[in-house]
Structure 1
């Protein structure tokens, strides 16, 4: 029996960007062996949707960056689960990624969440096979996204690990601040929110991005200073910053420090936010 194919181009602009990380994980290991992620699902999923006539991303910096950020999100989640066995992990804006293959330790509970149009495609291509792994509809621009994920109702609950990959840059600045504020207000102490962010220079310039420009999506939010990440709520703290393109080559190594000095923040990085009550700080 043949598997039906549904082209990713039927998705609206921002959701359609899910093809970019999927393609990078499917082919990037051969291009950058030192950054290999060994995704056991990406190639087969890509094959089911690649008849949509769209070219696959070929720019090396994008592919390297996706592998780098994948490794970072994976390691941050794994470290969290080592500290909190059996904890809840949520991928907010999951697209067609499959982090559960790396994070399943026999105890954790993982939720992959995205907009309904993405979730419909995901359920066709990635059937749920484990009772500790579920998928939920999610709209991060909704004031009720915390409830949509059925996250802890009280701060005294168990810490959770939330991450969102390739999502926040497409939201408006007030929407990003609202997401951070909700996390700061609702998350139990010890919880983590990890996400990637471009610097402010990228805003309005998606048409210059070799892969994103084909989708029609636009970058609306970019970081100007690290302090913006914690100003939404007093419980928030910036635990770590990881430069995504570090190690890609000598030109970047020479160029990045100058740009950091001029721009105030890395061109592109993964950030990890934590929450703490006054007694914990």
Structure 2
């Protein structure tokens, strides 16, 4: 495995705006967590990339561990799929500055899977500057809604699609069509994504100020855990849906059992992470 190098001269993160800027928000939170001695994630490449980008990170407010826990929640099902399909294709839609590939290959440097990194050209340009190359990584500089990426993916040994921190920024019709297209093209594959609850969608559409200097982009798509589970059978080709819980974290994230968040109305108020299996 390639270990992070000494920080390169800083690059300007100001090329990002709107939804693309959220990749810097999540990067900062993962890197800040990875730097802690009691951090919930080990992510040296996130630290390297974070330190290499000059940006006004303070406008996002105080760092928190949720994005690191979300990254861990995505890593585990991806690793299990690759254990069963060692030559599979992983498609990371709107990958941003995530460093999942290097976390997953930390203990499996010789793994044979192919990793398709899909994002807009400015993001892919920055990834090329700051992250190492690998023969297993295929970079596709395009929108996740540009379906031409479907034709590039080798589906012969299984496909695992991730949409971490993406679907909430899309229109509902686009989300459902994207899931349906993936299910149709990749039978036997899987797709994992996170979503926000309807009450949070409404807040973002009115203008959700995270701090005095930063307003979150509108998030038109929302899905409760129950609605996510109903996708199985509701979209052709989706044969099973699983509600994935966040792994234990630090403080309240480690002491409050997940089952308490699933009692009564709280079940419909919390964010969710869904794992869909395609038939």
TM-score normalised to structure 1 length: 0.81
Map residues 73-152 of structure 1 onto 2, 5 A cutoff.
73-104=74-105, 105=108, 106=110, 107-128=112-133, 130-147=134-151, 149-152=152-155
Shift of 1:44: 1.7
Report the equivalent of 2:183: 184
Question: Is the contact made by 1:64 and 1:245 (CA closer than 8 Å) also made in structure 2?
Answer: no
Q: Say what the alpha-carbon RMSD is for the aligned residues.
A: 3.1
d(CA) in 1 for partners of 2:270 and 2:259? 8
Gap runs ≥5 in structure 1: 277-281
Matched residue pairs, number? 265
Question: Is the contact made by 2:72 and 2:247 (CA closer than 8 Å) also made in structure 1?
Answer: no
Report the equivalent of 2:3: none
Gap runs ≥5 in structure 2: 1-5
Map residues 1-281 of structure 1 onto 2, 5 A cutoff.
3-29=8-34, 33=38, 36-49=40-53, 51-55=54-58, 57-59=60-62, 63-104=64-105, 105=108, 106=110, 107-128=112-133, 130-147=134-151, 149-152=152-155, 157-189=156-188, 191-206=189-204, 207-208=207-208, 210=210, 214=214, 216-224=216-224, 225-230=227-232, 233-244=235-246, 249=252, 253=256, 257=260, 261-262=264-265, 265=268, 267-276=270-279
Shift of 1:179: 1.0
Shift of 1:203: 0.8
d(CA) in 2 for partners of 1:117 and 1:204? 29
d(CA) in 2 for partners of 1:258 and 1:124? 41
d(CA) in 1 for partners of 2:78 and 2:165? 17
Query: Structure 1 pair 185/229, CA: closer, same or farther in 2 (3 Å)?
Result: same
Any idea what the Cα deviations from partners look like across 1:70-120, whole Å, max 9, x if unmatched?
111111111111111122112111111111212233122212221112111
Query: Structure 1 pair 169/250, CA: closer, same or farther in 2 (3 Å)?
Result: closer
Query: Structure 1 pair 122/114, CA: closer, same or farther in 2 (3 Å)?
Result: same
SS at match of 1:18: helix
Question: Is the contact made by 2:210 and 2:216 (CA closer than 8 Å) also made in structure 1?
Answer: no
Question: Is the contact made by 1:20 and 1:56 (CA closer than 8 Å) also made in structure 2?
Answer: no
